[in-house]
Amino acid sequence: MNRSEKWLQWAIELQSLAQAGLTYGKDIYDKERYVRIREISAEILSNMSDIPIETVKDLFCNETGYQTPKLDTRAAIFNDGKILLVRENNGKWSLPGGWCDVNISVGENTIKEVKEESGLDVKTISIIAIQDRAKHNLPVYAYGVCKVFVLCSLVGGCFQENIETTGFEYFTESNLPELATEKNNEEQIQMCFEAYRAGDNWKTLFD
């Protein structure tokens, strides 16, 4: 872990402690101190990342209750042994997916994200893996993320213009394009291929 990542980890821990204190603390003076600890954590993150302090507060200090990871789903869709990737606006490629909405399940969210980013209709088959993003993807985020990789089968549909992607293609395991590695890296794509080939014998991975 380099120096900047260490500072980020300290800021994350301060934010988590402050949020828990604001949730469960009873003494008004203690709550004032927790507010200041939260402000310090935001100031550290802003200083280390050059992100404006107000943006940091909106992203980093806007939750209440006990701090828990966010959920991100990624759909693995195969056709003739090739995996479907969508092209991001920056030209890089990823498995279709995104943040889970609070009012729908992981499976429903996976189907929704595929439709929004590719125009395709799918059905979910099984969970390939549940991963702690911080152990697999860079850059490190200022909040915890659990990534859920879901094996899906194609039902129908066709590409539709949207604000997130500019198209999709199917790729072989040996001919992957430039990946949006903050969302999925080559190791994770290979994991999806292994799950696809294993079929019913695949056991969900988690870490």
Model pLDDT for residues 45-57, shown as the tens digit of each residue = 888 877 788 877 7
In tens, the pLDDT along 180-196 reads 999 999 999 999 999 99
pLDDT at 67 over 90: no
Q: Are residues 43 and 75 in the same domain?
A: no
Q: How confident is the model at residue 73 (pLDDT cuts 50, 70, 90)?
A: very high
Domain containing residue 18:
3-60
Q: How confident is the model at residue 74 (pLDDT cuts 50, 70, 90)?
A: very high
Supply the CATH number for residue 188's domain.
Answer: 3.90.79.10
In tens, the pLDDT along 79-124 reads 999 999 999 999 999 999 999 998 899 999 999 999 999 999 999 9
pLDDT at 1: 61
Q: Does residue 193 fall inside a structural domain?
A: yes
Q: Percent of the chain having pLDDT more than 90?
A: 62
pLDDT at 55: 77
Q: Are residues 107 and 175 in the same domain?
A: yes
Q: Are residues 22 and 115 in the same domain?
A: no
Q: Are residues 98 and 147 in the same domain?
A: yes
Q: Are residues 81 and 54 in the same domain?
A: no
Rounded to the nearest integer, the mean pLDDT of the chain is 91
Over range 5-11, report the average pLDDT.
81
CA atoms within 13 A on the CB side of 144: 11
Q: Are residues 39 and 118 in the same domain?
A: no
- Please tell me the total count of domains within the chain: 2
